[in-house]
Amino acid sequence: MKNQEPTTNEILNWNDFMKVELRVGTIISAEEFLEVKNPAYKMLLDFGPLGKRKTSAQITKRYTPEDLIGQQVLAVVNFPPKQIANMMSECLVLGAVEAEQEITIISPERKVANGTRIA
């Protein structure tokens, strides 16, 4: 049986992966982000000892703001801040992207402390 080819041209080593700081955070607020071109929500996440961080996500096809509040999600917290319309995004929430850009957010199987590192 032939080995599967990687989906990108670059293979990461363990040290590369460890540079990506994946953490668990809880969504404490979510609202429509009216200032952007594509439908999205503005969200505030609590990462425990790392504090609260703002972000936006194009997840309006599968979620309402009410669905999101209180949900724990996985996010990258060590990207530099990025200007999105009139808001500075401070983290990137992870999601599975399917056909038609329908995104399902990635959550821990059970509740864990906010700020918990993913490895």
What CA–CA distance (Å, rounded) separates 102 from 84? 20
pTM for the whole thing?
Answer: 0.87
Section 97-102 average pLDDT: 87
Within a 13 Å sphere around the CA of 1, how many CA atoms are in the beta-carbon half? Answer: 2
Query: What is the tens place of the pLDDT at every residue in 31-73?
Result: 999 999 999 999 999 999 999 999 999 999 999 999 999 999 9
Domain ranges of the chain: 19-109
Q: By three-state DSSP, how is residue 88 classified? A: strand
Write down the pLDDT at residue 11. Answer: 87
Does 36 or 2 have the greater pLDDT score?
A: 36
Compute CA distances 38 → 17, 58, 84, whole Å.
30, 7, 11
Alpha helix segments (H runs only) across 31-107: 65-68
**Which pLDDT value is given to residue 4?**
47
CATH class label, 19-109: mainly beta
Whole-number average pLDDT of the chain: 92
